[in-house]
Amino acid sequence: MKRAIFPGSFDPITLGHYDIIKRGISLFDELVIAIGVNTDKKYMFSLEDRMKFVSEAFKDESKVSVVSYEGLTVDFAKEKDAQFILRGLRNPADFEFEKAIAHTNRRLSDIETVFLLTSSGKSYISSSIVRDVIKNGGDYSLLVPDSVKA
């Protein structure tokens, strides 16, 4: 069984995340959406809200599960018996950042990182942009799945 984790803060989940997850479903037998908890980070949405947004967005996908975790992603991957980490790339800067993490993870464990390019038309969307739009009262509905709009 090919199991992957897709780690992130998902604060909130965006259409970019949604795109990567939908495409990842076809590549893996199981996809664990791993919502990281970092006590040093200030989140706009609570962990419960973030988990609800993602769970609701994929409620009809039997291959998707949503969990939270703390600590190293590779340790969590081992705990979940995942052979892959799925990551999305929006631009060259993402690649350079993610490449360094992937190399480090590979040194720490046997896990492979699989990169998917975000689909055309979604590469500009990031959680930080969505949060900024929300904070400033803008219409963020075109940037997130329906589960976040509610």
Q: Sketch out the chain's domains with CATH numbers.
A: 3-149 (3.40.50.620)
Rounded to the nearest integer, the mean pLDDT of the chain is 94
Q: What is the DSSP letter of 110?
A: S
pLDDT value at residue 126: 92
Q: Pick the catalytic residue from 26, 41, 42, 107.
A: 41
pLDDT confidence bin for 149, thresholds 50/70/90: confident
Q: Pick the catalytic residue from 17, 50, 87, 122.
A: 17
- Give 29-48 pLDDT, tens digit per residue: 999 999 999 878 899 999 99
Q: 41 catalytic, yes or no?
A: yes
Q: Pick the catalytic residue from 50, 87, 122, 127.
A: 127
Instruction: Tell me which residue of 32, 43, 13, 40 sits closest to 126, measured CA to CA.
Output: 13
Label residue 150 exposed, middle or buried (CB < 10 Å: 0-12, 13-18, 19+): exposed
Percent of the chain with pLDDT over 90: 88
- Helix and strand tally (H, E) in the chain? 6, 5
pLDDT > 90? residue 94 = no
Task: Give the span between the Cα atoms of 5 and 7, in whole angstroms.
Answer: 6
Task: Give the span between the Cα atoms of 14 and 126, in whole angstroms.
Answer: 7
What size, in residues, is the chain? 150
Q: Pick the catalytic residue from 78, 90, 99, 106.
A: 90
